[in-house]
Amino acid sequence: MPQTAEPPVIVLVRPQLGENIGKVARAMLNFGLVDLRMVAPRDGWPNPSAGPAAAGADIVLDQAQIFDTTAAAVADCSHIYATTVRLREDTKRVVTPEEAALEVISQPGRSAYLFGREASGLDIKDVNMANAILTVPINPEFGSLNLAQAVILCAYEWSKTQSLSQPTVTDQLPPAPQEQLDGLIDHLEGMLKPKGYFLPTNRADATKRTLRNILTKPGWNHLEIRTLRGVLSTLARKIRAD
């Protein structure tokens, strides 16, 4: 049976000011989003500055979930959008808030929008985890969109899709939740390490990022991931040369 896609999750990665978290909550609730997650908010949680800035959107703050890592925050999400104001060199797909919203409502599985800290945005590691880059097309000579504004544009575009007739999602299996993809990547890295694939050590992080990008691109579902885990186990099998 076709199901209705879930509203997207908003993930603030290492947000700095409580006031901004409150404004995000307000922006979300204005457009009907309630699932707020935070990764290691700088000043801890709860934050007394968040409430007043939320202007009544307390329900969003009260239900907010806190995680230690981005991976944990999106473990149950199948589609990860990394929001950036400025495009970086990257091989990932780039979508607008509108395009992302249309994807979110038409693809099975839960979607998450990642937003980085106010001062510097998302780390490259967080961007790597994403299936696509979400960029708000702004004035190239004056890019000064703050966190709550970026969130409100994404939430607004999502809400616009809700007034249309509810599209039904396809029967296609959704991409596996992030933790299953992480399991595959860990498995492969664990096999490659003893063979010296990550040497020299100073290139290891870049090599791992490349590998993660390649394996994130497909959006494999849980059956496909399971098959690939089987492939890896088979490759690791020792065969006697007798």
Q: Which residues bind a copy of itself (CB under 8 A)?
A: 26-27, 29-32, 55-57, 87, 89-94, 96, 98, 135-139, 142-146, 148-149, 152-153, 156, 159-160, 163, 165-173, 188, 191-192, 194-197, 210-211, 214, 217-221, 224, 227-228, 231, 234-235, 237, 239
Least CB distance to a copy of itself at residue 80 (A): 16
- What is the nearest approach in angstroms of a copy of itself to the Cβ of residue 102? 13
Torsion of the alpha carbons at 54, 58, 64 and 66, rounded to the nearest 10: 70
CB of 122 to a copy of itself, least distance (A): 16
Q: How many CA atoms lie within 13 A of 124 on its CB side?
A: 11
Nearer to a copy of itself, 47 or 158 (CB): 158
Question: Which residue lies nearer to a copy of itself by CB, 3 or 214?
Answer: 214
The two counts, helices (H) then strands (E), for the chain are 10, 7
Cβ distance to a copy of itself smaller for residue 2 or 218: 218
Based on CB atoms, which residue is closest to a copy of itself, 3 or 217?
217
Q: Which residues contact 74 (CB under 8 A, 6 or more apart)?
A: 9, 11, 80, 112, 114, 129, 178
Q: Which two tokens stand for residue 46?
A: 């709860």
**Minimum distance of a copy of itself from residue 154's CB (angstroms):** 11
User: Using an 8 Å Cβ cutoff, are 174 and 108 in contact?
Assistant: yes
Nearer to a copy of itself, 65 or 159 (CB): 159
Asked whether 150 and 121 are in contact (CB, 8 A), the reply is no
Match 């990642």 to its residue by tokens. Answer: 114
Helix, strand, or coil (residue 4): coil
Q: How far is the CB of 37 from a copy of itself (least distance, A)?
A: 19
Six-digit token string for 224: 């496909």
